[in-house]
Amino acid sequence: MNEEIEHSYLPIRGLKLHIAHIGKAGEAGTLLFVHGFPEVWYSWRHQMVAAAAAGFRAIAPDLPGYGLSEPPSDLAQASWEGLVKDLLAILDSLAISKVFLVAKDFGAKPAFDLALCYPDRVCGVVTFGVPPLVESLGFSGLPEGFYLHRWKEPGRAEADFGRFDVKRIMRTIYILFSRSEVPVAKQGQEIMDLADDSTPMPDWFSEEDLSVYTNLFEKSDFITALQIPYRTKPAKAEYAKPRFQMPMFVIMGQKDYILKFPALKDYMSSEKLKDIAPDHEITYIPEGSHFVQEQFPELVNRLMIDFLCKHG
């Protein structure tokens, strides 16, 4: 399957960024996939192939400092606004005027900002695990040992990760993020201590998958990955009005741990969500985890393609 996907490098805002791509430009349209953490283009492999088979062109970059893309020369200059500019520059470089955005995890933030600031460039937005947002919900009500609190602290994750090789780090993160419980360390414990070599991997996550992620993160390391999303404060995007003008589709794993974030639970049923995204729908996959697009690719692909064809 992955042999069908092609790979290229683009000069984007002074960096050499890697993109995976498949399918020809045609009437169906183009999809731009935006990954989260700890992910890269490979996270979208199933969706890319399905999109191409349905007549779409699919493009999945490794964001700067992830996978095969060069990192920013100065991490202090890495910004959320920069990610939006990177996505726009990729579209311009490939002479693509309008796209569907498909994003998950922290990748939803630059996708949402792009849709708000440049609505004429976006046909629709599909997100995994994240409902339409115009500003961060925050993480109030979560304990000190919550992984985001820990990884925000300069040097903390580096010391934690530094005890293990990349394979063990990737294995542990995939195990923890696949659970329905929020990853929280106890006093005197670090996040990497929440699983060990005897903890089984999710049954849908193969040794081959682990090897691919390990090889890619051995190339990129976790330095940029810890900066964005965990340590770079998001600035408010400059949009005309805080309302999405295009159709939005959210696919949620019913067992995704982020559904246990107190602020998210309240927001999902709020009037504010209806106000900012009047044309949105949410579908829950009963056994779905944080990585639902890798866990249930056939179901996710069908839901995604149905939405794209309806709004293409």
pLDDT digits over 13-54, tens only?
999 999 999 998 777 899 999 999 999 999 999 999 999 999
Whole-number mean pLDDT of the chain?
Answer: 94
Q: Are 15 and 75 in contact (CB under 8 A)?
A: no
- pLDDT average, residue stretch 212-224: 94
* Average pLDDT over every residue of 266-292: 94
Kindly tell me if the per-residue pLDDT of 2 is higher than 80: no
Distances (CA, A) of 118 to 85, 99, 247: 11, 11, 14
pLDDT at 238: 80
- Segments making up each domain of the chain, as ranges: 6-233+241-311
Closest CA to 183 of 38, 295, 287, 35: 38
Quick check: 258 and 183 in contact, CB under 8 A? Answer: no
Q: Which of 19-33, 93-107, 199-213, 282-296 is least confident?
A: 19-33
Determine which of 26-30, 140-144, 158-162 has the lowest per-residue pLDDT on average. Answer: 26-30
Predicted structure pTM score: 0.97
Please name which of 245, 312, 310 lies closest in space to residue 277, comparing C-alpha atoms. 245
Q: pLDDT at position 268, please?
A: 87
Report the sign of the C-alpha dihedral through residues 109, 114, 119, 121, in that order: negative
CA distances from 264 to 138, 166, 260, 267, 268 (A): 9, 31, 7, 5, 6
> Given this model, what pLDDT does residue 135 score?
86
Q: Is the pLDDT of residue 218 over 60?
A: yes
> What's the confidence (pLDDT) of residue 239?
81
pLDDT of residue 1: 55
Single-letter residue type at 196 = D
Tell which CATH classification among 3.40.50.620, 3.40.640.10, 3.40.50.1820, 1.10.3720.10 matches the domain 6-233+241-311: 3.40.50.1820
On the 0-12 / 13-18 / 19+ scale of CB atoms within 10 A, 132 is buried
Q: Which two tokens stand for residue 205?
A: 């996550």
**Which residue is it, tokens 């949620």?**
252
Rg (CA), the chain: 18
Report the SS3 class of residue 207.
helix
